[in-house]
Amino acid sequence: MAVKIFSGRATQYLAEKIAYAYGAPLGVINYQQFSDGEMSPYIAESVRGHDVFIIQSTFPPADNLMELLLTVDAAKRASSHTVNVIIPYFGYARQDRKDKPRVSIAAKMIANLLSAAGADRIMTCDLHADQIQGFFDIPVDHLDGSYIFVPYLKSLKLKDIMFATPDVGGIKRARNFAKFFDADLAVCDKYRKEANKVASMRLIGEVEGKDVILVDDLVDTAGTICKAAGLLKENGAKSVRAVCTHAVLSGKAYENVEGSALEELVVTDTIPLKQESSKIKVISVSDLFAKAIRIIHTNESISSLFIKL
């Protein structure tokens, strides 16, 4: 059984790097597009009896998700031995519960769709909520962005390092970093009146003279993280950086980051940047996913890909 790596069109830039790091060519998928926008992916090589890995993040537009589902179905019907779906950024993960009446649980619905399409395994990185793994009835390999962030933060050699979370929901994630570096933790407690708009924020913890690292799984409009950075600087922080796995960066995000108190926003390439910014540094997850593919193919444990935080 050979490994065959394919990519959806939205994540071609990352899939090429993953395939190169793994040491295998990226497989070819041809697309037929009807005049009304309907698409039909065609896998242009035999996958019979092989372990197939299909890479596609599910950020907007929704066509990215539909393209992924069709490709999974095509691989399954082509008699692949296994169909492993790599979703570097699992879109719709923020809709993981009913937080008000008459709303969908989109993360669960997408889990059902992927299973119904024929996926045998899901591989992703830094889900918005860990419990989303339980939405699937197939194996889920939930990789941790700390594997690439920790070495980078070590390289900065910050003497007075401290970690902070821009909201209460991210305490566990930030605490893990703080524990690894034997550092203190601060919390920015925010209140929202509506999505993407922070009404108020207060700081819990002492940050005077500290090099503070804000930790979050994603950055969208950057309103929260920039407000938190400003609050930390107002309270005496020596410097403020942020590490966020998924660079959604919508709306006025780039403008917000450029005008913020952040010295640096460190993100990964699970989502392509829409524009360049002097304050945004991108670290690739390609090596992490390439190692995971190799380990899964040889039926080994993926524990080696986790830093014990």
Residue 143's CB is within 10 A of a number of other CB atoms, namely 23
d(CA 102, CA 118) in angstroms, rounded, equals 29
Task: Give the pairing of strands 29-33 and 39-43.
Answer: antiparallel
Is position 190 annotated as part of the catalytic site? yes
Question: What residues contact 41, with CB distance under 8 A and at least 6 apart?
Answer: 29, 30, 31, 67, 70, 71, 74
Residue with tokens 């989303």: 132
Beta bridge mates, 199:
none
- Catalytic residue, candidates 4, 190, 227, 233: 190
Question: For residue 166, is the peptide bond before it cis, meaning its omega torsion is within 30 degrees of 0?
Answer: no
Coil, helix or strand at residue 2: coil
- Residue matched to tokens 């920015």: 188
Q: Which of 270, 24, 235, 225 is nearest to 124 (CA)?
A: 270
Helix axes 286-297, 12-22, angle to 10 degrees: 60
Compute the distance between CA of residue 27 and CA of residue 24 in angstroms, rounded to an integer.
9
SS3 216: strand
**Active site members:** 190
